[in-house]
Amino acid sequence: MTDTNLAVIVLAAGQGTRMKSTLPKVLHPLAGVPIVGHVLATARELAPEHVVVVVRHERDAVAATVLELLPEAVIVDQDEIPGTGRAVEQAIAVLPKAFAGDVMIVSGDVPLLDAATLTGLLVAHRAGASAATLLSAIFQDATGYGRIVRTDDGAVHRIVEQRDATPEELEIHEVNSGSYIFHLEPLREQLAKVNTRNSQGEKYITDVIGLLCASGAEVTAVPVSENWIVGGINDRVQLAETAQRLNALIVRGWQLAGVTVRDTGSTWIDLQATIGEDVELLPGTMITGPTVIERGAIIGPDTSLDTCEVGEGATVRRTDATLAVIGAGASVGPFAYLRPGTYLGAKGKIGTFVETKNSTIGAGSKVPHLSYIGDTTVGEESNVGAGTITANYDGVNKHKTVVGSHVRSGSHNVFVAPVTIGDGAYTGAGTVVRKDVPPGALAINVAPQRNMTGWTLANRPGTAAAKAAAAADGEATDKA
């Protein structure tokens, strides 16, 4: 049910210079979702009446991503006046005049802040008489954070930013997490009084806290249960640390759901993945995108699946697969490369050092060894011999190869597309198939073998090979 008395403002205007990246900070991926996407998902879970996202740096890219993930969000462009206070001021200006509820403010670069924590903050805010309630944390090393300054009786007095703090204030360990809930009217009234007279020349939302306290309004700080929940991402180190933390939570969730994970440290799973009970994930496994793995499949070791479907009881070992479908009971690998458009039928096999692309391999069919299968359809219960290549590209266009059901092709074949091999047909070893093979036919085009006796002695005299051949010739003569 929608909370008609709640608006959520997401601050996503920052440049994120410490990331040293052409990609906006909030768009860096985390478990398959942009950083800001995690924040938007949390906002959606709170079911607010309004979600407003403030953007500036690379605004088109950020706005496009926000609207893709949360179409009902309202985008606000921050103007030339810097600071979080100005961003919030512009955000509340777009709220409907009839709205008079609570305004929750969160940062677009704090992805692990969950809905349960924010719901607790909202409940605490509404249970009291505070004009503002903020989320705090206790850090032994509070470097970089705004400190929460309290009065002698423990009441919140103000928030001072790191750059503006006195040496005594820098010794404070309770910090501002950057998440707040305000009653709208006091917030609007005090924002109008905030100036930019500070070391950064910015309009801080934190200054509103001091102004509220000075006006006699009550401000409450609620400590977070775990500090990592409010950890922001400002550089690649923090991105990696957050990714590890989130991945550990994801892996643990799947373990509790009945998935065996042999090595939690080397197994990575995106949020969008779906994994069935009794699936076994071996060390070095990466499951990315909306991959679906059905019950009882075994994945790994050393396997990457990106946006794939794996059927019940399938086995995928030491494989790199993208946009591929692997049927129930099928076997893939080791050392297989499944490119987009690969469809392997039930109980089929794609084996060692096999590459496939845009191909369908039917139920029970096998491509066991050392092959490239591209733009190809293979029927059911066929066996494609070792070293087979489908020559699908003529330098300008791609062409199709069709291999029927119950076909047996020899080793080291080349199928020059477009070509069709009929049901039940055979091809000999070393055959280059340039024209269609009728059902049930045997295709061969290898020239008869010719042995030129004495060639090594005549053409490579004095070599080790010639000596070996002469010795073998002598032994054969003696035996004769």
pLDDT, tens digit, 9 for 90 and up, residues 416-442 = 999 999 999 999 999 999 999 999 999
CA separation for the pair 316, 308 (Å, rounded): 12
DSSP 296: T
3-230 maps to which CATH number? 3.90.550.10
Contact 120, 222 (CB under 8 A): yes
Residue type for position 94:
V
236-443 maps to which CATH number? 2.160.10.10
Residue type for position 425:
A
Print the SS3 string covering 440-464. Answer: CCEECCCCCCCCCCCHHHHHCCCCH
pLDDT-derived band at 198, boundaries 50, 70, 90:
confident
Computed over every residue of the chain, the mean pLDDT equals 95
Return the minimum-mean-pLDDT range out of 106-120, 275-289, 401-415, 461-475: 461-475
pLDDT value of position 163: 86
pLDDT, tens digit, 9 for 90 and up, residues 359-412 = 999 999 999 999 999 999 999 999 999 999 999 999 999 999 999 999 999 999
pLDDT at 184 > cutoff 90: yes
Across the range 223-230, mean pLDDT stands at 93
Which run of H or of E encompasses 281? strand 280-281
pLDDT, tens digit, 9 for 90 and up, residues 10-46 = 999 988 899 999 999 999 999 999 999 999 999 999 9
* Integer CA distances (angstroms), 292 to 27, 52, 184, in order: 24, 33, 44
First vs last C-alpha separation in the chain? 98
pLDDT at 164 > cutoff 90: no
Indicate which residue of 50, 125, 183, 369 is catalytic: 369
pLDDT at 94 > cutoff 90: yes
Residue type for position 383:
N
pLDDT value of position 480: 56
pLDDT-derived band at 71, boundaries 50, 70, 90:
very high
Closest CA to 404 of 431, 427, 371: 427
pLDDT at 247 > cutoff 70: yes
Which run of H or of E encompasses 236? helix 236-256
Return the minimum-mean-pLDDT range out of 146-155, 230-239, 292-301, 342-351: 146-155
Both tokens assigned to 280: 């076994």
pLDDT at 220 > cutoff 70: yes
pLDDT at 306 > cutoff 80: yes
Residue ranges, comma separated, of all CATH 2.160.10.10 domains in the chain are 236-443
pLDDT-derived band at 476, boundaries 50, 70, 90:
low
CA separation for the pair 381, 388 (Å, rounded): 17
pTM of the model: 0.91
Closest CA to 325 of 339, 336, 333, 313: 339
pLDDT-derived band at 145, boundaries 50, 70, 90:
confident
Verify whether residue 369 is a known catalytic residue.
Answer: yes
pLDDT value of position 478: 65
pLDDT value of position 129: 86
Residue ranges, comma separated, of all CATH 3.90.550.10 domains in the chain are 3-230
Across the range 344-367, mean pLDDT stands at 98
| CB proximity list for 275: less than 8 A, separation 6 or greater | 254, 257, 259, 269, 281, 287, 292, 293
CA separation for the pair 125, 119 (Å, rounded): 10
pLDDT at 4 > cutoff 90: yes
pLDDT-derived band at 477, boundaries 50, 70, 90:
low
pLDDT value of position 276: 98
E-state strands within 399-445: 401-403, 408-409, 414-416, 419-421, 426-427, 432-433, 442-443
